[in-house]
Structure 1
Amino acid sequence: MIRPTGTPASGGRRRRGWVWLIVLAFVGFGLWATWTLVSGLLHLESVSMAAARGGGPRLEEVLLEDHDAAWKVAVVDLEGIISSDFMDPMGYDLVDLIRAQLKRAGEDHRVRAVILRINSPGGEVIASDELYRAIRRFQEEHDKPVVAVMENVAASGGYYVAVGSRWIVANEMTLTGSIGVILSTWNYRGLMDKVGIRPYTYKSGRFKDMLSGARDPSEIPPEEREMLQALIDEVFDRFKEVVAEGRNAAAEANDPEGRRLVENWEDYADGRVFSGAEAYRLGFVDELGNFETARERALALAGIEDANVVRYQRRLTFADLFPLFGRARVEPVRVDLGVELPKLRTGHLYFLPPALVP
């Protein structure tokens, strides 16, 4: 058989062309992957440096309501149990996130007011106090009002945070109040005796094993109970001080529209939960309504006619995956699109209704 002259040579060139194309594709992919990895590491380093300087979590602005206005009202959400537990791999907690949102709202000259949307039963004592102080400081430094709007529940620590606001709006059926402090622990000595386990404790001082659940109740000295109760009373006094401080400051700033606490308001600060309607009657909130009510009030306090409504949400990048890779050696990596509430710990002071404390 006679083959056309030059056919094998041209076929070989086509095969070599495909080989080079595949090689270039792999080289290109390798360069892209290397660049992505290096840029991610550099970005992670810059994030770590920013965090060390107090930069906080990265946020992006999301438009909730577009009213074609020049001004903006920022919505900050306080959802779930107030805790100092880490929320993400970068090591930021709820307090860090809300502080960062307030900072963003303060630096944006177009943001004229903030709506603090609360749906929380309370939480840790220190975290609640930090948020209260952050809200008061934001209003003093930036002269922008914060309007708190209570949704399903804003009790105990949730109310503690709310009283830092200029104005408080509650639904008639909102569960609020629960002004008080709780400390809970377990005593499992009886169970240990049943299974034949006896603890041996060596301590440097008489009260070093305070709150230990391994002791027989008869071994707990009465002085320890008195000290713990004194600690509870001290934190409780601070709670009542914050309520009086926040509500009186709001009443002065909102005079004559704002509501003042009734004279015997401390009689209701015994841990009880009451409705939004009752809270309004007692002066714990300024107005009954919903989110739209809070928006209208924020516009009025800011002295503007209309504004777009925005919120700030956590922005995750490729760099956020690296801490997960580092932790994968000691524990499995879980990817969850929901929110996991922090675990309540015994022996910690909480602003929470008793039913929520273990």
Structure 2
Amino acid sequence: MSEPDQRGTPPLLPNPAPQTPPPTGGSRYILPIVFLFIAGVFIFGGWIVSAFNQFTSGMTAPARTEFTEVTLRSGDPENRIAVIDVTGIISSIGPSDMVTTIKKQLELASADKRVKAVILRIDSPGGEVMASDEIARAIRDFEADNDNGPVIASMGGMAASGGYYVAAPCRFVFANELTITGSIGVIMQSINLHGLLDKVGVKPVTFKSGSNKDMLSSLNPPEATTPEQKEIMQRFIDDTYDAFVKVVEEGRDKKKGNRSTEKDARALTEDWQDYADGRILTGQEAYQHGLVDQLGNFDDAVKFTEAFVGIESGKARLIKHEAPLNFGGLLRFLGQAEKAPAGTTVQVDLGVDLPRLRPGVPYYLSGHLYAD
């Protein structure tokens, strides 16, 4: 029985090798997608590097010095009015030197005999004494040239302190009724850190050549300022204020040849200096005291200027000479502005960002920006 049974039993077949199931619909695209992603990263990264290199090479290249003429309003190309903006803090430092820019714009207006007048469009709380005076001098020099047209000031939302200082020499001054102006005066401040340094255990060490060399130092205790030093500083402030008053009186004097025939020009009132004590004035108040000639906005100033120089109303072409952009200078200014060595600065959070003023520098600046 055993032999037939062995002969009738079929031989065992080997198990077939397991077959890999065919890839599903989504997994077959994984490798191509990964490949495309990696290729895209390389391509995009190369583009970023190339663009960055072009940008940085442009910043390190010499700054373009040409001013660009921009048309603000179309009109007769032979009858132009140049618009010069005085916007923000008046300063000679920073990425764009306002003093140099305005001087260049006046120079370009003088060179173009098609420019019949200049409108100084002001929206500024004032700024540095020297910067304000340099701009005012440039305006006086421009108007002193008989070949040049008049400079008309148009005050915007604010033309206070140094903003009014640069308007005073102009042939004619416009202000809106609600313009913030006035603030005729000088301010120079210093924050005393002596008490704070005592609390944190910091002891300043000063070497000086004279008793008054550090009289503006914020490291000295307030009581260290002597009466003589206070007198020195007050005399300096008073002299600077007297210069401001002189600029206003000379600029607003109707007896000047270039104002004597202007029936709409206003003279300073007898008591105008009573209001030149640092207080702000509205445009309406400034008009009442003879600090401005007419009330109106920029469009009114344009219409007046056209009539003043004999151009048909609405026909003048308004132009502006734009200063060249200097990205390199801007980044250097932002990255290097008055950096002090590590560990030598104390930062105090006042809860508000104010314009950075340089310590010990006098300003024709509206102090109301810093009111408590």
State the distance in 2 between where 1:283 and 1:185 align.
34
Question: Which position in structure 2 is the counterpart of 1:247?
Answer: 252
SS at match of 2:113: coil
Equivalent position of 2:196 in the other structure: 191
Structure exhibiting the larger radius of gyration computed from Cα positions: 2
In 2, Cα distance between the equivalents of 1:322 and 1:130? 26
CA distance in 2 between partners of 1:323 and 1:200 (Å): 35
**Greater helix share, structure number:** 1
CA distance in structure 2 between the partners assigned to 1:250 and 1:204 by the alignment = 50
Partner-residue secondary structure (3-state), 1:186: coil
Residue in 1 aligned with 2:135?
131
> How far is the alpha carbon of 1:278 from its aligned partner?
0.8
Alignment correspondent of 2:88? 80
Aligned to 1:355: 368
Q: Residue type matched to 2:87 in 1?
A: E
SS at match of 1:87: coil
For the aligned residues, what is the CA RMSD?
2.9
CA distance in 2, matches of 1:161, 1:205: 37
Which residue of 61, 66, 69 corresponds with 2:74? 66
Residue identity in the other structure for 1:278: E
Q: In structure 2, what is the Cα distance between the partners aligned to 1:166 and 1:216?
A: 48
Distance 2:272 2:72 in 1: 37
Residue 311 of structure 1: aligned partner: 320
The residue type paired with residue 67 of structure 1 is: G
Give matches, 1:191-210, under 5 Å: 191-210=196-215
| Number of matched pairs | 297
The code of the aligned residue for 2:228 comes to: E
Amino acid at match of 1:300: A
Compute the displacement of 1:250 (Å): 7.8
CA offset digits 1:146-167 (Å, max 9, x no partner): 1100010000000000011100
Q: Identity over the aligned pairs, expressed in percent?
A: 47
Of 264, 268, 293, 1:261 maps to 268
Following the alignment from structure 2 to structure 1, what is the Cα–Cα distance between the partners of residues 186 and 231? Answer: 16
Deviates more, 1:278-287 or 1:251-260: 251-260
Q: Deviations over 1:72-131 (max 9, x none)?
A: 11110100000111324xxxx011111111111111111100110000000000000000
Q: Which residue in 1 is equivalent to 2:149? A: 144
Whether the aligned pair in 2 keeps the contact of 1:250 and 1:258 (CA below 8 Å) is no
Closer, same or farther: CA 130–324 of 1 in aligned 2, 3 Å: closer
Q: Which runs of 5+ in 1 are unaligned?
A: 1-35, 48-56, 332-339
- Give CA deviations for 1:316-340 in whole Å, capped at 9, x if unaligned: 4xxx567789x69x87xxxxxxxx9
- Give the drift of 1:44: 3.5
**One-letter amino acid matched to 1:44:** P
Q: CA deviation at 1:219?
A: 1.7
Structure 2: gaps (5+ residues): 1-53, 337-352
Q: For 1:150-229, list aligned pairs within 5 A.
A: 150-229=155-234
Which segment is superposed worse, 284-293 or 301-310?
Answer: 301-310
Equivalent residues of 2:176, 2:283 under 8 A apart: yes
Cα contact 2:95–2:330 (8 A) shared by 1: no
Native 8 Å contact 1:87 1:94 kept in 2 = no
Q: Distance in 2 between matches of 1:273 and 1:212?
A: 30
- Following superposition, the deviation at residue 253 of structure 1 comes to 2.4
Q: Does the C-alpha gap of structure 1 residues 323 and 114 become closer, same or farther in structure 2, counting only changes over 3 Å? A: closer
**Contact 1:151 1:170 (C-alpha < 8 Å) held by counterparts:** yes
Name the SS of the counterpart of 1:96 in structure 2: helix
TM-aligned CA deviation for residue 249 of structure 1: 5.3
Separation in 1, partners of 2:306, 2:354: 33
Alignment TM-score, normalising by the size of structure 1: 0.76
